[in-house]
C-alpha cells in the first residue's frame, strides 16, 4: 500500500536493514514499538469562559542512547500514529548524527489559528501540567514543531519551572535567545539541510551557486531554506509554494520580497513577476534540487514519476511515501533522506541543551561551524556505506542509525 502512515513507513525502513545487521527477532520487535506512550485529555478555559477539552499525546520511543528529544505539534489533523512515526524517526535521527539522545514527539489536536494568544498560552501551560511527570532535562526534552514556536516553548519552560520550583532552562529547547535559546536554532533545520545538499552536489562536480531549486512548503523550514539557499549558498530559487499553491519564475525569485508579499497577502500566490502554479506542478519542474519542506506524503506513487529534479532533499519529515522512494531510486534520482537532511534542528537543540547545562552562550559562528561539521560527518558516512553496498542513502542511513542503538542496547544488557 503506497499511502501507509508514517509509523508503518519508518518500521518498513527499519526492517529493510534488519537482515544486514542480523537482528534478533526480539530486538527487532523492541525497536519497532515505542517504550512509552502518554495520551491525555486537556481541559482549557477559553476566552468566552467555557471549558474546551483537547486531545494530546507524547510518545517516548527509545531512550537507549540518552533522554528522549522531540518536538510538540499543534495541528487539527494530528494522530497518535503520526506521533509514533515522528518519535521513531527522531530516534534514528539522533543516532545517525551521534547525539546522546533518544527520540520522542508530542502533539495536540487543535487548530492554533482559531485560538487567541491567551488560549494558546493556557493550552501550552496545561500540556506541561499533565505531562510534567514524564518531562525534564534528564527524561524528555521537547522543542517546537508544526504550528509551535519559541514563544510556545517559553510558556512551557516557564510552566515546567513553576512546578519544579526552580528555573530550568534545559527542560525545553527552541526557546527565545533571551531565555537560554541558542543562536541559529530557528534556521537550523534548513541550514543543516543545505550543508548536506552542498556535499551531494560536490560529489556530482557541482556547486550550490550553479543550482536551481524548487521548494514545496513555505513555513519556518521552507522559508529559511529559500532564504539561506539564495543568500548564503548562492542557489537560484525559482519556485516556492505554501498550502494555497505556488509561484514560479525560471529567472529566480527575490525571496525577501516573496516573504514580504506573503506577510501582506497571506499567500505566496500572485507574486509580481511570477506565474502561479499548483503544488503538483511545482514537483514536476525541471530544477536541479527539489526540497519538500511541508508535511508527510507530498510525493507518492501517483506523482513520483513526474519528478524531474536529480536531487530530492527531504527537509520535511516523511515527505516521500515508501513506494515513491523506490520509484525515484530506480529512476536514478538521489534522495537525501529526512533523518539525514533535516537533522540540523535536533543538532542545534542539543547544542542548546549543552549551553544551558554549562550556563554558557555560543555565538552564531560557533553554532554554525559545529552544525556544519555534524552534517558533513553524517553525510560522508552514509554516502560511503550507500556506495559500498549499492543501496539508497535512506537504507544506508537507517543501517548506521539502527546499528548504533542496537550496540548500545547490547552494552546496557537489553539485548
Is residue 154 domain-resident? Answer: yes
Q: Is there a single domain that holds both residue 130 and residue 66? A: yes
Predicted confidence band of residue 67 (pLDDT cuts 50, 70, 90):
very high
Given a cut of 60, is residue 286 above it in pLDDT? Answer: yes
pLDDT score recorded for residue 348: 98
Question: Of the residues 290, 325, 341, which one is the last residue of a structural domain?
Answer: 341
Nine cell digits for residue 82: 503520526
The C-alpha angle with vertex 202 and arms to 98 and 301, in degrees rounded to 5, equals: 75
Q: How many domains does the chain have?
A: 2
pTM of the model: 0.94
pLDDT score recorded for residue 241: 97
The C-alpha angle with vertex 111 and arms to 163 and 321, in degrees rounded to 5, equals: 105
pLDDT score recorded for residue 4: 64
Is residue 382 domain-resident? Answer: no
Q: What is the rounded average pLDDT of the residues 55-80?
A: 96
> How much of the chain, in percent, has pLDDT values that exceed 90?
88
Q: Angle formed by the axes of helices 393-412 and 80-96, to 10°?
A: 80
Q: State which H helix or E strand residue 291 sits in.
A: strand 289-292
On average, the pLDDT of the chain sits at: 95
Is residue 79 domain-resident? Answer: yes
pLDDT score recorded for residue 3: 57
Cβ neighbour number for residue 236 with a 10 Å cutoff? 19
Question: What's the CA gap between 51 and 45, in Å, rounded?
Answer: 4
Tens of pLDDT along 247-271? 999 999 999 999 999 999 999 999 9
Residue 171: partners with Cβ closer than 8 Å, 6 or more residues away: 135, 136, 137, 141, 156, 157, 160, 161, 164
Tens of pLDDT along 13-33? 888 887 788 888 889 989 999
Question: What's the CA gap between 180 and 184, in Å, rounded?
Answer: 12
Tens of pLDDT along 288-333? 999 999 878 899 999 999 999 999 999 999 899 888 999 999 999 9
pLDDT score recorded for residue 405: 96
3-state secondary structure (DSSP) of residue 219: coil
Q: Distance of CA 214 to CAs 17, 188, 323, 343, Å? A: 31, 19, 22, 20
Q: Is there a single domain that holds both residue 125 and residue 205? A: no
Is residue 373 domain-resident? Answer: no
Nine cell digits for residue 365: 559562528
Given a cut of 70, is residue 276 above it in pLDDT? Answer: yes
Q: Is there a single domain that holds both residue 53 and residue 110? A: yes
Q: Is there a single domain that holds both residue 152 and residue 205? A: no
Q: Is there a single domain that holds both residue 143 and residue 230? A: no
218 and 268 Cβ atoms separated by less than 8 Å: yes
Question: What's the CA gap between 86 and 150, in Å, rounded?
Answer: 20
Question: What's the CA gap between 203 and 349, in Å, rounded?
Answer: 29
Domain that holds residue 301: 188-341
Nine cell digits for residue 354: 549543552
128 and 163 Cβ atoms separated by less than 8 Å: yes
The C-alpha angle with vertex 385 and arms to 380 and 388, in degrees rounded to 5, equals: 125
Is residue 138 domain-resident? Answer: yes
Is residue 377 domain-resident? Answer: no
Q: Exposed (0-12), middle (13-18) or buried (19+): which is 82, by Cβ within 10 Å?
A: buried
Question: What's the CA gap between 290 and 288, in Å, rounded?
Answer: 7
Q: Is there a single domain that holds both residue 264 and residue 141? A: no
Question: Of the residues 341, 364, 387, which one is the last residue of a structural domain?
Answer: 341
Q: Is there a single domain that holds both residue 222 and residue 315? A: yes
Question: What's the CA gap between 30 and 178, in Å, rounded?
Answer: 40
Please confirm, yes or no, whether 32 is among the known catalytic residues: no
Q: Is there a single domain that holds both residue 157 and residue 240? A: no
Tens of pLDDT along 217-233? 999 999 999 999 999 99
Question: Of the residues 306, 326, 341, which one is the last residue of a structural domain?
Answer: 341
* CATH assignment of the domain containing 224: 3.40.50.720
Question: What's the CA gap between 383 and 250, in Å, rounded?
Answer: 31
Question: What's the CA gap between 365 and 295, in Å, rounded?
Answer: 30
Is residue 351 domain-resident? Answer: no
Q: Is there a single domain that holds both residue 254 and residue 161? A: no
Tens of pLDDT along 69-124? 999 999 999 999 999 999 999 999 999 999 999 999 999 999 999 999 999 999 99
Q: Is there a single domain that holds both residue 145 and residue 267? A: no
pLDDT score recorded for residue 2: 52
pLDDT score recorded for residue 1: 42
Q: What is the rounded average pLDDT of the residues 223-244?
A: 97
Tens of pLDDT along 354-378? 999 999 999 999 999 999 999 999 9
Q: Which of 11, 93, 105, 395 is catalytic?
A: 105
* CATH assignment of the domain containing 71: 3.40.50.10860
Q: Is there a single domain that holds both residue 144 and residue 196? A: no
Tens of pLDDT along 153-202? 999 999 999 999 999 999 999 999 999 999 999 999 999 999 999 999 99
Q: Is there a single domain that holds both residue 226 and residue 131? A: no
Question: What's the CA gap between 337 and 397, in Å, rounded?
Answer: 8
Residue 71: partners with Cβ closer than 8 Å, 6 or more residues away: 86, 105, 106, 142, 143, 144, 145, 146, 148, 174, 345
Is residue 266 domain-resident? Answer: yes
Amino acid at each position: 500500500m503506497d499511502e501507509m502512515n508514517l509509523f508503518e513507513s519508518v518500521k518498513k525502513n527499519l526492517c529493510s536493514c534488519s537482515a544486514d545487521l542480523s537482528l534478533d527477532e526480539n530486538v527487532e520487535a523492541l525497536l519497532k514499538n515505542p517504550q512509552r506512550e502518554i495520551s491525555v485529555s486537556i481541559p482549557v478555559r477559553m476566552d468566552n469562559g467555557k471549558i474546551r477539552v483537547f486531545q494530546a499525546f507524547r510518545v517516548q520511543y527509545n531512550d537507549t542512547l540518552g533522554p528522549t528529544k522531540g518536538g510538540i505539534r499543534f495541528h487539527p489533523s494530528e494522530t497518535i500514529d503520526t506521533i509514533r512515526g515522528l518519535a521513531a524517526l527522531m530516534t534514528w535521527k539522533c543516532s545517525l548524527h551521534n547525539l546522546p539522545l533518544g527520540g520522542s514527539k508530542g502533539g495536540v489536536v487543535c487548530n492554533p489559528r482559531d485560538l487567541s494568544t491567551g488560549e494558546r498560552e493556557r493550552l501550552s501551560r496545561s500540556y506541561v501540567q499533565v505531562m510534567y511527570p514524564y518531562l525534564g532535562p534528564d527524561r524528555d526534552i521537547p522543542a517546537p514543531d508544526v504550528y509551535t514556536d519559541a514563544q510556545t516553548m517559553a510558556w512551557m519552560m516557564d510552566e515546567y519551572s513553576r512546578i519544579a520550583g526552580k528555573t530550568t532552562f534545559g527542560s525545553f529547547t527552541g526557546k527565545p535567545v533571551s531565555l537560554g535559546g541558542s543562536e541559529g536554532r530557528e534556521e537550523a533545520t534548513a541550514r543543516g539541510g543545505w550543508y548536506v545538499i552542498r556535499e551531494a552536489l560536490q560529489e556530482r562536480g557541482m556547486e550550490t551557486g550553479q543550482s536551481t531549486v524548487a521548494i514545496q512548503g513555505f513555513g519556518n523550514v521552507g522559508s529559511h531554506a529559500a532564504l539561506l539557499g539564495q543568500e548564503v549558498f548562492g542557489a537560484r530559487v525559482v519556485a516556492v509554494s505554501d498550502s494555497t499553491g505556488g509561484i514560479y519564475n525560471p529567472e529566480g525569485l527575490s525571496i525577501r520580497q516573496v516573504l514580504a508579499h506573503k506577510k501582506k497577502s497571506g499567500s505566496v500566490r500572485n507574486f509580481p513577476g511570477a506565474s502561479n502554479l499548483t503544488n503538483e506542478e511545482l514537483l514536476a519542474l525541471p530544477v536541479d534540487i527539489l526540497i519538500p519542506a511541508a508535511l508527510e506524503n507530498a510525493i507518492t506513487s501517483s506523482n513520483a514519476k513526474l519528478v524531474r529534479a536529480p536531487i530530492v532533499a527531504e527537509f520535511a519529515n516523511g515527505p516521500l511515501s515508501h513506494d515513491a522512494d523506490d520509484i525515484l531510486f530506480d529512476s536514478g534520482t538521489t534522495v537525501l533522506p529526512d533523518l539525514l537532511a533535516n537533522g540540523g534542528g535536533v543538532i542545534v537543540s542539543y547544542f542548546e541543551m549543552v549551553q544551558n547545562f554549562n550556563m554558557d552562550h555560543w555565538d552564531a559562528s560557533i553554532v554554525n561551524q559545529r552544525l556544519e561539521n555534524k552534517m558533513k560527518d553524517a553525510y560522508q558516512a552514509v554516502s560511503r556505506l550507500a556506495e559500498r553496498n549499492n543501496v539508497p542513502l535512506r537504507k544506508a542511513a537507517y543501517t548506521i542509525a539502527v546499528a548504533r542503538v542496537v550496540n548500545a542496547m547490547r552494552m546496557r544488557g537489553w539485548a
